[in-house]
Structure 1
C-alpha cells in the first residue's frame, strides 16, 4: 500500500490517491481520497478487503497517516488498529527507502502514466469512477513478465480468498487484544533505534 499526492483538479481541488496491490499476483485497487486522513485510508482498505481479500501482511512506508500521530507517538493509529484487529500484520519498511516497496512504487508510476496523465477529471466522484474502471482493466488485462505473461485475475487463487465480511464502524474505537507489528530498520553507528517517532538507544 502506498499514498500518492497531493494531486490537483482544475480549480485547485487537492486530493490523494491510495494504491493497494497484492504482491503475489499484482491484483490492485486505486482509491482517490479527498484527504490523507487515517479514516479515509482505513475506509479504502475496508473496501479493498471486502471486494477482493484480506492479506496476512500489510507492507507500508512510514507515512504519518499509516502509523498514528506525532502528538501521541507511542499510540497506534486507526490504520494500525484496523489491520491488527483483523489479524493482519503491518510491516514498516525503513524510512526514506522507497525501493523496499518496489512493487507498489512501480505500480504508482504506471498508474500516474497510464491513468492520471491520460485523462481529464472534473470532480472527485469522476476520478473515483474512472479509478475503478482503471483498476478493473488492469486486473483483467495487464500481463506481467514476472508472472509468465499472466494477468492478475488469472493468478487469483479463489481457494485462498478471505473477504472482509464484518461491518466496521470507523467512528467507534477499535478494541485490540493482541497483534504484531514488524519494523525493518537499519541501525547506524549511533546505535539508536527509531520506531513510531520514539528513539531507543541500544
Structure 2
C-alpha cells in the first residue's frame, strides 16, 4: 500500500470511528484488517502521518541505542553489587529513577534477552481456578490489607542433621513486602512470637491467609476447636483466612516468596552456622524490602488503618471470650469433596470445617466454596462465587466454637 493511500485510510478510519462505527464495520468498509483499524483509531494526529514500514529489522523505533546500552549497564551493575533481585522489572525501575524517562517492561525484557542475560520463564498453566469457581473477586475485595504466612520446608547445613526452620511472612496488599525469620521449631508459640516481632515495625494486616497446619489453629484433634494462633489474631482484630486443604496454590503469594528465598538465598549462599544465617537473612530481608518498594505501585494505607503491636499493649491476646474479640469472623476456603460412590443414590458433597463435616448438594462437588463463621452469632454461612463476582449463599447452619467463651462470667 502506497504511503498516501495508507495515510488516507488511517484518517478515514478515525473519522468513521468518531462517527460511531465499530472497528469491524470500518475494516469491511476500507478492506483492511480489524487489528489495523484498532491501531489506527488510537493514533494521535501526528502518528497518523508517520509511515514506519521498511524500518530496519531489530532496530527500536521508539528508543535510542543509548537506552539499550544503559539498560545493559544497569543489569551489569546490579550483578556486580551481588543484588538478590536483578530481573527486568528491577532494571526498568532503576532506569526510570536514573534518567527520569519511562521505558516499557517488554522493551527491557527484549534487550536483556538479546544480550543473553535472561531465560524465558516457563508458561503458567491457567484455567483450573475458573472452572472450580475459585472466589478470586471475593478475596481481592476482602479487607484493606492482607498478609500470608507459611513454614518453609526444613533446611540443613552441610554435614549436619539438625533441622533449620523458617517462617515466611508475605504481605499481599497494599504492600508487597516479604520477610523470612529463622525459628526454633514449626510451632504455634514460635509463630506467635515471630508475628509479634514482625508487627512491631510492620503494619498488622486486616486479613491473615494461612494453611491448615495444626500450628496455625485449624486442624486440632477436637471438633469445633480453634488454636492459640486464632485467638491471638481475633484479639488483635485480624481475621484468619484458612485456604483449602492440600491446595498450596491457594496461597500462591507466600509459596512464590518461599521459592524466591530458596533460589536467591539458601541455594545461592554458603553458611558456616546458624548465627551466620541470621546475619545474612537480615540482608536478604532488607534487599527484598527495597525490591518490593521499587516495583510496588499500590496506594498506601490510610493512617487510621495502620496498627502495630504497641497499639495493643493493654489487650489480653490470649482472651477466649467472644465479647472482647476485635475480629468476630473466621474465613475458610474449601473444595467440596465427594462422599460415597459417584452416581450412586448415596452420593453427596461435603466440606470439613474444624473437624466438623457439613453435607452439601452433589452438584457442588469439586467446586470452591467461601465459608464464614460469625463467632458472635454462632453461625456458619457457606457461599459460592457467581460469574459476576457476587456471593450466593448455599447453606447456613448453627456453628458454635466449643473453646470460645460465650457466657457472661
TM-score (norm 1): 0.84
8 Å Cα contact 2:153-2:165 kept in structure 1: yes
Q: Which residue of 2 aligns with 1:37?
A: 187
After superposition, residues 33-182 of structure 1 pair within 5 angstroms as 33-67=183-217, 70-142=220-292, 150-151=295-296, 157=301, 159=303, 160-165=305-310, 166-167=312-313, 173-177=318-322, 178=325, 179-182=328-331
Check whether the contact 1:16–1:34 (CA below 8 A) recurs between aligned residues: yes
**Runs (4+) of structure 1 moved beyond 6 Å?**
none
Per-residue displacement from partner, 1:45-98 (whole Å, max 9, x unpaired)? 111111101000001111121125643343221211111110100001111111
Which residue pairs with 1:146 in the alignment? none
TM superposition shift of 1:168: 8.8
> Residue 44 of structure 2 corresponds to which residue in structure 1?
none
| CA RMSD after TM alignment | 2.6
Deviation at 1:43, TM superposition (A): 0.8
1:196 aligns to what?
A: 354
Stretch of structure 1 that moved more, 5-14 or 110-119: 5-14
**Secondary structure, aligned partner of 1:115:** helix
Give aligned pairs, total: 195
Change (3 A) 1:76 1:96: same
Taking the aligned partners of 1:176 and 1:119, their CA distance within structure 2 comes to: 47
Structure with more relative contact order (C-alpha pairs < 8 Å, separation 6 or more): 1
State whether residues 212 and 219 of structure 2, in contact with CA within 8 Å, keep that contact through their aligned partners in structure 1: no
Return 5+ residue gaps in structure 2 as ranges. 1-148, 340-348, 361-409
Q: Could you tell me how far apart the structure 2 residues matched to 1:88 and 1:78 are?
A: 13
Distance 2:261 2:184 in 1: 18
The DSSP-based 3-state class of the residue aligned with 1:23 is strand
Are the counterparts in 2 of residues 68 and 78 from structure 1 also a CA contact under 8 Å? no
**Aligned equivalents of 2:226, 2:247: Cα separation in 1:** 22
* Offset, 1:138: 0.7
CA change 1:193–1:84 in 2 (3 A) is same
Q: Which has the larger radius of gyration?
A: 2
SS of the residue aligned with 1:83? helix
Q: Please, which of 146, 163, 170 is the counterpart of residue 21 of structure 1?
A: 170
Q: What is the CA–CA distance in structure 2 between the aligned matches of 1:188 and 1:69, rounded to whole Å? A: 17
Per-residue CA distance 1:151-189 (angstroms, 9 max, x = gap): 58x96547343211134999x944342421101112234
Deviates more, 1:188-197 or 1:39-48: 188-197
How many Å separate the matches in 2 of 1:169 and 1:87? 11
8 Å Cα contact 2:233-2:240 kept in structure 1: yes
What secondary structure sits across from 2:335 in the alignment?
Answer: coil
Does the Cα contact within 8 Å between 1:84 and 1:176 map onto a contact in 2? no
Tell me if the contact between 2:177 and 2:292 (Cα under 8 Å) persists in the aligned partners. no
| In structure 2, distance between residues paired with 1:52 and 1:130 | 20
Aligned residue number for residue 7 of structure 1: 155
Structure 1 unmatched runs, 5+: 144-148
| Equivalent-residue separation in structure 1 for 2:219 and 2:245 (angstroms) | 16
Q: Kindly tell me: are residues 68 and 193 of structure 1, through their superposed partners in 2, closer, same or farther at Cα, counting changes over 3 Å? A: closer
